[in-house]
Amino acid sequence: MSDIVVFGAGGTAGSRITVEAVNRGHRVTAAVRRPEAVGYLPAAVRVVTGDATSARSARELAPGTDAMVVAIGGGERALWRDAAENLITVLRDLPAPPRVIHVGGGSTLLTPRGTPFLEEPDFPEEYRDSALGQADALAWYRSATAGVTWTYVSPPPLEFRPGERTGRYRTGTDEPVTDERGRAALSYEDLAVAVVDEIENPRFENMRFTVGY
């Protein structure tokens, strides 16, 4: 059993990761900005006010924690980099820092030409700031070479939506995982399976991995 903190536990990804972890018997703390708004989470979840960009939140929630999951969204470009920098900076000074699992964007994955999807000419402008923010966060983790173990998880760049929990998936690193038809797809539910699997059995320490069917 692990002690897990989920920042952004009220969101689409964070809530599913929280449920998956609780259903497997882990102790989960949901760190959210508005605790009163997440009454739909399982009763076993401890809900606290928390912010991944806050040094105080990181220091208060870290003791006794095995993994901190970053599943935040809805902010300006700087949000994701700020969260990554805050957690690594605070946690690296602790005697036994928890591992950081960052749920990132699929747009940072590479096309067959070796360039990120976010640089494609037809990339939707309304998602550009968040895509760039997630790219900034990934770059920050890759530059943080000592003190804290991190993992950055990317879903598919396009076909990623709520759906069925099948419990099956395949993994890759910097390019989307595609099926025999060249389709990269995944449900949020199976992303949660992959995240909790990685917490239980680490395979991608200090690197990014991606998931697809």
Give the per-residue pLDDT at 124.
84
The full set of domain ranges for the chain reads 3-212
Model confidence pLDDT, tens digit, residues 131-145: 899 999 999 999 886
Q: Is the pLDDT of residue 85 over 90?
A: yes
| The total number of residues written for the chain in this structure | 213
Question: Concatenated DSSP letters for the chain?
Answer: --EEEEETTTSHHHHHHHHHHHHTT-EEEEEES-GGG-TTS-TTSEEEE--TT-HHHHHHH-TT-SEEEE---SS-THHHHHHHHHHHHHHTTSSSPPEEEEE--GGGSBPTTSSBGGGSTT--GGGHHHHHHHHHHHHHHHH--SSS-EEEEE--SSEEES----S--EEESSS----TTS--EEEHHHHHHHHHHHHHS---TTEEEEEE-
Mean per-residue pLDDT over the chain, rounded: 92
Write the CATH number of the domain with boundaries 3-212. Answer: 3.40.50.720
Q: What is the pTM of this model?
A: 0.93
